[in-house]
Every structure is written in structure tokens, then in C-alpha cells.
């Protein structure tokens, strides 16, 4: 049979209680450093961490980019996160499939053309697991160009 240790607080070897994990309640875990809470995880897994400057918190689930791609002048990927595939749909028109889907179609993809020429474009989420990028020059002609896309929203 496995051993079990029951404690309310894990502290550093000096015993000064300013560093450790507070397990005193059964609804959340607190990570403290210098007797100040730096991370909180509740029973549902919702996790918040102290942000830059120490005055605000960031929700790990809500506050982070969930997918991004830095693409070439096709649907190729120079680097990416949570991107399973890229499809070249024609000149200046690319689709990307996600490794882990968004929970719905209300996520927000944003993009920028990385070419020094004057290009504009659109980026839309077509469903919970795909977004599409289209690039045009200022004369509204489709053009291939390098691009960067970041998506924020709730994962499924």
C-alpha cells in the first residue's frame, strides 16, 4: 500500500513559512514566495499567476495566446505553436488547421503581413479548428507574402 503524508503547508527547510505550498483548504492551492501568493489554482484547474510588476494577475487559461504561426509566402510554417497543418488555397490565400481546437468559433485571430511592400489582408476563424489568411496589394490583387498570425480564445 502507498504511503500518505498529510500536511497543511509545505515550507522551506528554514521553517520561516515564507516559501511553500498552502494546502490548508481543499478548494485551491496557493504558491507563496516571501509570504506573498504568486500562483493560485482552484479545484476546477483555473490558474492565475502574478503578472509583470507584481500588482496584477494573469489567468493562464484566458490571458495567453493559444496558437500562432509565422508563415512564408505560402502556407509553409517557419515556426508555430498549436498549428497542425497549412494549406495553400491559391495566391495570397492560406488556411491553417489547429492541433488543439478552440471551444467555439468566437476566438480571435489577428495577423500582419511581414513583407516590406504595401500589403493588406484579412484573417478569419472559419470554424473551431481552422483559420484563413488572405493577402492583397493596395490595388486589391491577391499576393503571396510572409505573415504572422496570433489567435486568442478558449480552447476546447
pLDDT at residue number 138: 79
CB within 8 Å of 71: residues ≥ 6 apart:
77, 78, 86, 94, 96, 133, 146, 147, 148, 149
According to the model, what pLDDT value does residue 87 have? 94
Average pLDDT over residues 139-153: 86
User: Which contiguous run of DSSP H or E holds residue 120?
Assistant: strand 119-127
Backbone φ and ψ of 54, nearest 5°:
75, 5
Number of H helices, E strands in the chain: 0, 14
Q: pLDDT by residue (tens digit) across 34-84?
A: 888 888 888 777 888 887 777 788 777 776 888 999 988 788 889 999 999
**Residues 151 and 67 sit within 8 Å (Cβ to Cβ):** yes
- What CA–CA distances, in Å, run from 91 to 36, 57, 113, 140? 54, 43, 14, 12
Q: What is the pTM of this model?
A: 0.69
| Among 146, 69, 42, 154, CA closest to 105 | 154
In tens, the pLDDT along 90-127 reads 998 999 999 999 988 888 888 877 665 667 778 888 78
Higher pLDDT, 76 or 9: 76
The answer to whether 82 touches 100, Cβ cutoff 8 Å, is yes
The span from the CA of 4 to the CA of 95, in Å, is: 51
Check residue 135 and give left, alpha or beta (phi > 0: left; psi -120 to 50: alpha): beta
Distance between CA atoms of residues 120 and 140, nearest Å:
9
Amino acid at each position: 500500500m502507498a504511503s500518505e503524508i498529510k500536511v497543511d503547508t509545505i515550507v522551506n527547510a528554514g521553517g520561516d513559512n515564507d516559501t511553500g505550498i498552502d494546502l490548508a483548504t481543499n478548494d485551491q492551492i496557493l504558491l507563496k514566495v516571501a509570504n506573498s501568493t504568486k500562483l493560485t489554482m482552484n479545484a476546477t484547474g483555473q490558474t492565475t499567476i502574478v503578472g509583470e510588476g507584481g500588482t496584477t494577475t494573469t489567468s493562464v487559461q484566458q490571458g495567453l495566446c493559444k496558437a500562432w504561426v509565422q508563415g512564408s509566402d505560402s502556407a509553409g510554417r517557419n515556426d508555430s505553436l498549436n498549428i497542425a497543418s497549412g494549406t495553400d488555397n491559391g495566391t495570397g490565400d492560406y488556411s491553417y488547421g489547429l492541433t488543439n481546437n478552440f471551444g467555439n468559433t468566437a476566438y480571435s485571430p489577428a495577423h500582419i503581413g511581414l513583407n516590406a511592400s504595401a500589403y493588406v489582408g484579412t484573417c478569419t476563424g472559419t470554424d473551431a479548428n481552422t483559420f484563413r489568411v488572405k493577402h492583397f496589394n493596395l490595388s486589391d490583387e491577391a499576393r503571396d507574402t510572409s505573415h504572422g498570425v496570433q489567435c486568442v480564445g478558449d480552447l476546447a
